[in-house]
């Protein structure tokens, strides 16, 4: 299970929750990293890499402009092979490298197939000896996480619009036998037109209605109980649970399950008992 990354209790502009701010700060730190510019030749033309706009455990994201200056994309750069030094043996490193390669190739294949107005589309993908380069449409409206940090909880009318768009994207994925498995507030962008785009299919996979997946992945605050209980699952149900957590964050400005104690947090998620604020509408 990936480490916890989520929003926490007080979500107003005057008091930014520590966990929320940590997630934003981590992104900002990655965005400040400077590396030499280079170019990537693709079937759609040559792209010139620019500044780093994000970074994570798997790689970094840079702005890239087409050589003729007509277009801008976000380029996700993933090193091939493990960048960690904590492997106990050469065999461990080889297994980790193979696992990472399979995961990255799967992400590229799945995102290539996806074409939906509320899923960040991929323009091209290039694999070199040392890196994967995935070119995605550039969503220039910012992250939902940053919006909530700045403004606090959303009005229900606005949250309703976003939730319809998320539901539409998930329904599209599930009807095409794809499960995201890492839906969280950090993986939702807002376009300049005020619509959402879901990103980061790095943990996605194909599923079969009569089959079961056994990989327990995702982000703790948004993870379904069956993942914490190490139970096999079909796929869509874990996305639906995460969608519910996201919707709660949108209208409440905090996650429904939180605790300083990790065992206590696990217990709360497994019980699934949610405290709905009295000021929420009844949905009518």
Q: Residues forming the annotated binding site for ATP? A: 76
258 is catalytic: no
Range list of H helices, the chain: 18-31, 90-113, 144-151, 156-175, 225-228, 236-252, 262-271
Between CA 61 and CA 197, with CA 18 as vertex, the angle to 5 degrees is: 40
Largest CA distance in the chain: 59
The one catalytic residue among 182, 200, 239, 258:
182
Nearest to 4 by CA among 238, 258, 276: 258
Cα–Cα distance between 71 and 85 in angstroms, integer? 38
Cα–Cα distance between 194 and 167 in angstroms, integer? 16
Rounded to 10 deg, the angle between the 236-252 and 144-151 helix axes is: 30
Nearest to 229 by CA among 218, 242, 216, 239: 216
Contact indicator for 73, 135 with CB cutoff of 8 Å: yes
The pair of structure tokens assigned to 257 is 């399950």
Is the dihedral angle over the CA atoms 67, 70, 72, 77 positive or is it negative? negative
Contact indicator for 8, 260 with CB cutoff of 8 Å: no
The pair of structure tokens assigned to 51 is 């500044």
End-to-end Cα, the chain, rounded Å:
37
Catalytic positions are 182
């Amino acid at each position: 299970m990936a480490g916890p990354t989520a929003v926490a209790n007080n979500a107003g502009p005057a008091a930014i929750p520590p966990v929320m701010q940590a997630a934003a700060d981590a992104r900002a730190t990655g965005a400040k990293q400077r590396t030499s510019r280079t170019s990537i030749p693709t079937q759609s033309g040559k792209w010139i890499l620019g500044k780093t706009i994000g970074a994570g455990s798997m790689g970094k994201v840079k702005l890239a402009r087409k050589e003729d200056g007509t277009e801008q994309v976000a380029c996700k750069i993933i090193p091939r092979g493990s960048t960690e030094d904590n492997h106990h043996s050469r065999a461990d490193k080889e297994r980790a490298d193979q696992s990472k390669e399979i995961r990255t190739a799967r992400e590229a294949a799945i995102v290539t197939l996806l074409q939906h107005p509320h899923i960040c589309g991929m323009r091209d993908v290039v694999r070199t000896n040392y890196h994967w380069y995935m070119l995605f449409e550039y969503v220039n409206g910012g992250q939902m996480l940053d919006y909530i940090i700045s403004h606090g909880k959303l009005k229900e009318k606005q949250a309703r619009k976003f939730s319809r768009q998320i539901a539409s994207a998930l329904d599209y994925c599930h009807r095409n036998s794809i499960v995201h498995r890492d839906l969280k507030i950090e993986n939702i962008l807002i376009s300049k037109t005020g619509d959402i785009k879901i990103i980061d299919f790095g943990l996605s996979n194909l599923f079969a209605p009569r089959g079961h997946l056994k990989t327990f992945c995702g982000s703790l605050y948004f993870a379904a109980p069956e993942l914490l209980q190490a139970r096999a699952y079909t796929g869509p149900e874990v996305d639906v649970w995460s969608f519910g957590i996201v919707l709660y964050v949108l209208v409440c400005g905090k996650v429904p399950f939180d605790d300083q104690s990790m065992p206590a947090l696990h217990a709360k998620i497994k019980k699934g008992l949610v405290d709905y604020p009295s000021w929420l509408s009844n949905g009518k």
